[in-house]
Amino acid sequence: MKTKLCEYALEFKSDSGAEQTLLDFGLQLYRSHKPDSEIAAALWTAIEQHKLPAGKELLIRILFKLGAYETAASFFVPELLHSQEMCVLHAKILLRTGKAEEAGPFIDTCLNNAEQTENGHTATLKQLAQLCQLQKQGVSSIEHMHISHLSRILGLAISLGMHEAAQQLTAQGDEFVQCLLVSALYREGFTRQAKAQLSRLPDPLTLGSQQLFQQAAYISAEMLYDERRYTKASPIFEALIKQAPELSSARFGAVSCHLQETMDNLLRRIELYHPLQEEREKIFKYLNKIQQTLNIIEGTHWHTRWSPAQLRNMEASLPDLIN
């Protein structure tokens, strides 16, 4: 059934805000279980109706951000590839859809045609070219790779679903490198794989006070929080507060754990003791105040937030990265 735009109130206050409006619209359709083809058709209709400039490029960017890679690929035409931005997107989509053999020569051509001046798009293309080489030839050592470069390459590999390349990059790495992998997986929404990888490591809090180890500990606490295991999560948040007092998100996490525990205890009290109506009303007032406080804390965005494409990764049933 074709989606009717009249069902949705789309308002574009400016061309600059149109992309976010359309992205929100696409996400709304996705959450309504519309197929990617129908989402693309509805987005394209909105773009045409509102006469938005560079419509095809805009559509491809939005579909990419929504994680609709195959559908985005279907809208590429040769004339769009004169833009470096579109070249990067096309290369990423080729890699994300498993077409590494096609992506390699395309990226090489883009780099050969690129201007001598280094820019963000050129740097990304070089990283993509390196990933293609890793996928094709493998890598025996990361000893000579600077850690910041390794972090960027690893994050790019995970974001593009290049699991083999990520394995090659981290297979011989120490605990620091393994924590990089945990962070990259979690950041891209591969929470199940991040949890599996964390389970193979010592408690990150015992590994040292480096920021990456603290980040791994924080991830473990967030996952416990999302599993409603507040008594397990709160000590990790509190330990992080002692190690890194400036980490405000850990403070919000700890407070949220205690509030959630209090709510659970009050609800159990109602279930176990069946209090009289007057006491029940008091308990529900407390519960309402606690929920309001939790809503305020949630408004600080202390918890990791994922993009639409990353949420798809979370929902997808993918094999563990490390066997």
The yes-or-no verdict on residue 11 having pLDDT over 80 is no
Residue ranges of domains in the chain: 174-323
Residue 203 has pLDDT above 90, yes or no: yes
Average pLDDT over residues 69-87: 94
3 pLDDT higher than 60:
no
Average pLDDT over residues 221-240: 98
The arithmetic mean of pLDDT across residues 57-67, rounded, is 97
Cα distance between residue 241 and residue 238, in whole Å: 5
pTM of this structure: 0.89
List pLDDT tens digits, range 173-182: 899 999 999 9
pLDDT digits 0-9 by tens, 278-321: 999 999 999 999 999 999 999 999 999 999 999 999 988 455 54
The string of pLDDT tens digits covering residues 128-160 is: 998 988 877 765 456 677 889 889 999 999 999
